[in-house]
Amino acid sequence: MDCLTCAGICTKMLLVLFAGILAWAYQAIQPPIPKTCGSPYGPLVTASRIKLKDGRYLAYKEHGVPRDAAKYKIVYVHGFDSCRHDAVVANTLSAEIVEALRVYIVSFDRPGYGESDPNPKRTVQSLPLDIEELADQLGLGTKFYVIGFSMGGQVIWSCLKYIPHRLAGAALLAPVVNYWWPGFPASLVTEAYQQQLPQDQWAVRVSHYAPWLTYWWNTQKWFPSSSVVAHSTDILNSEDKKLLPEIVSTRNYAAVVRQQGEYESLHRDMMIGFGTWEFSPMDLDNPFPNNKGSVHMWHGDEDKIVPVILQRYIAQQLPWIHYYELPGAGHMFPHAPGMSDNIVKVLVGE
């Protein structure tokens, strides 16, 4: 066998190897098809659900007084890796406040979580429109309140942008911040970004710059992926850790959260939350110029998941925001005793 023949064989082998690697890489980054609730191979439907205009189903759960008897009607938006059962404000609101103020709260599974259908076409704007449809189908009236925690708190910015005319008031509890929102000083973003664990820096960086790699990055075993997805306690401060046993002990539905798959729930959250937005919260106008409502934001000054320095900056740019910084509190402060009572009373002006 001459040299030219050997070279030809080697070239063919390399091409086959390269094609094999490409095929493996393509398969590795393809997320599995979600196991939609009610489908032949999906989980059973057990929740109350509405059918949205685009055909998707949205699961919800009602709390408090009957909606027909309510004075204050609130839509609660859950956080990352959570579901309709994780309505901390509804779950910890005292019976005295519920009855005295006649409070009704509806929580729902955001798309892909729990028993709500995934939304592969989800955008920053789509979820506020889902909330508006939910409110209309449940007959909550022309105006209602919204409360969001963590990633659900980030959704409230979208509500203030896209459905302000439907809101009676809004509360953001430790809302997740997108490091790529226009308006932040570069030095402040760098400082906040570096406060994260290295694996979390990479997780949000991948979600922003290479969203098509988000599934692979969060399922591969070569490098540490998101500590939030892994439920690491390294991202909790001392107060969060004190609250953790009670949170875990009541969360007997954890398997329901990701039952349709992680891509259309956790990973879609990351791609939207840290993707490129059509607007920056810092550019929002006061949704209540006539003082017929108000917007409130709470944040712990020891939050190790969402850096407080960015939240402070947002609050400074929006003088119409009522900002409450909680000394010593971490990310899980809404679970603290009495906190939900305070949040609801402040929100509705009682």
The pLDDT tens digits of the residues spanning 120-137 come to 999 999 999 999 999 999
CB 109 within 8 A of CB 47: yes
Taking the model in full, what pTM does it have?
0.92
Note the pLDDT of residue 252. 86
pLDDT tens, 27-43?
555 788 899 999 998 99
Task: Detail the DSSP E strand segments found in the chain.
Answer: 48-51, 57-64, 72-77, 103-108, 144-149, 167-173, 295-300, 321-326
- Of 145-149, 154-158, 201-205, 220-224, the least confident: 220-224
3-state secondary structure 37-62: CCCCCCCCCCCEEEECCCCCEEEEEE
Note the pLDDT of residue 208. 97
Looking at the predicted structure, is the pLDDT value of residue 18 above 60? Answer: no
Note the pLDDT of residue 114. 97
Measured over all CA atoms, what is the biggest interatomic distance in the chain, rounded to whole angstroms? 93
For the chain, the average pLDDT equals 92
Given CATH 3.40.50.1820, say whether it is the number of domain 49-348: yes
Q: Give the domain ranges of the chain.
A: 49-348
